[in-house]
Structure 1
Amino acid sequence: MGEGRASMSAPAWLMEFTSNAAETFVTAYYAAADSPQHCQLLPSLYLPNSTISWNGNPISGAAQFEQLLEAQPGTQHEIQSFDCHPLGPVSAQDNHVAPSMLLLVSGTVAHYTPESLATNKTNAPKSAITTGTKTKQKFDADTPVTSLPRVFSQTFVLINGAGTNAEGGVPFVWTQSRSASKGKSATETSKAKTVARYFIQADSMRFVG
């Protein structure tokens, strides 16, 4: 049984590749989400037939997704953690094929609207736990409630669209570490690069609490 479990484990290179690719994707995705140009940037990361669920509401097609983005206020995401799992194939390294990934992200997001930012600040005394105008969460103590952060959880299924002539996605170039390339020569290791362009095949975002 022990040998069977060992043979089912993903090799070190696959775990390292997935971890680095996930970090690259998370950085790019939430930078796009928080950008003033998010309505133009985010759709380029999805496939035309991507499955999208926004806080329990299914989104059908690119047109409806664009309408959702246009209705969304500006955001500021703070990522607390992310976890990723390769979906295979395990033999992808030998064929220089980037694996698909399951990615789970959690954090907080604050929403800003022109109306909330224009709201007159309260004349009420500041809370005894605040010092000055900044709280420990880096938000102004007088910020309107509509822009205070909410906890969210988001799950992605990512696939590699490199070589399909698809435009957009999150590009990722990777050179494996020595630990992941054990048994290969220095020349082989230096050439062991996989270029991927990750697109979102499925996305489920939900506010927590």
Structure 2
Amino acid sequence: MSTLTQNDIEIATRAADHFTRLYYSTYDSPTRVDDLPNFYRPSSALTWNGKPYQGTEGVRNLISSMPVTRHEVQCFDWSQPPNLLITVSGTVTHGRGPSGNPPATSNKSIDGQPRVFSQTFVLVPDPSAAPSTKGGEVAKYYVNADAMRFVG
């Protein structure tokens, strides 16, 4: 195992921060059904609240079956390169929020209510991505494994 340099750590920090921002803005976008699967590969594994999905088509099937979302990331941490383990905590609202629910919706319904989630990603360098001009830094990672769970 090689020793990490300060530059390695800075690159990983930027990659984790960039991934987290881009992933959730894509997830919450109107084009998410087409764009979110681009973070994955056919061999990627996803577990969404205990239910397994496989690869880009699994992600597409999951996303296309859920209402619009709004994520608020409260914190994230990451581990050392070359693979990145990123853990994210935050809240997600599915649908248009409580005011978007039909009038007959019970106040105790979870529909449209913010829910706390925890999500863990294993990102690996994408061998097909072109290296950047900054010291051979791999410009892109893909999601090899993803586990999301509602908390509470």
Same-fold call, TM > 0.5? Answer: yes
Partner of 1:106 in structure 2?
Answer: 89
1:172 to 1:154, Cα distance in 2 relative to 1, 3 A: farther
Unmatched segments (≥5 aa) in structure 1: 1-6, 88-98, 123-141, 166-170, 176-191
Q: Deviations over 1:55-101 (max 9, x none)?
A: 111113433332211111100000000001124xxxxxxxxxxx221
Unmatched segments (≥5 aa) in structure 2: none
Stretches of 4+ aligned residues off by more than 4 angstroms:
171-175
CA-atom RMSD, angstroms? Answer: 3.0
Distance in 2 (CA, whole Å) between partners of 1:194 and 1:200 is 18
Distance in 1 (CA, whole Å) between partners of 2:42 and 2:139 is 18
1:9 to 1:148, Cα distance in 2 relative to 1, 3 A: farther
- SS of 2:16's partner is helix
Partner of 2:32 in structure 1?
Answer: 38
**What is the one-letter code of the residue matched to 2:146?**
D
- How many residue pairs match? The answer is 150
Percent of residue pairs identical: 38
Partner of 2:100 in structure 1?
Answer: 117
Tell which has more relative contact order, 1 or 2 (C-alpha 8 A, sep 6+).
1
Q: Does 1:207 pair with 2:113?
A: no
- SS of 1:39's partner is helix
> Structure 1 residue 195: deviation in Å?
3.9
**What is the one-letter code of the residue matched to 2:137?**
T
- Give the structure-2-normalised TM-score: 0.83
Distance in 1 (CA, whole Å) between partners of 2:131 and 2:115 is 30
1:173 to 1:81, Cα distance in 2 relative to 1, 3 A: farther
- Give the structure-1-normalised TM-score: 0.62
Asked if the contact 2:88–2:118 (Cα under 8 Å) also holds between the matched residues in 1, the reply is yes
**What is the one-letter code of the residue matched to 1:206?**
R
Q: 1:58 aligns with which of 40, 43, 52?
A: 52
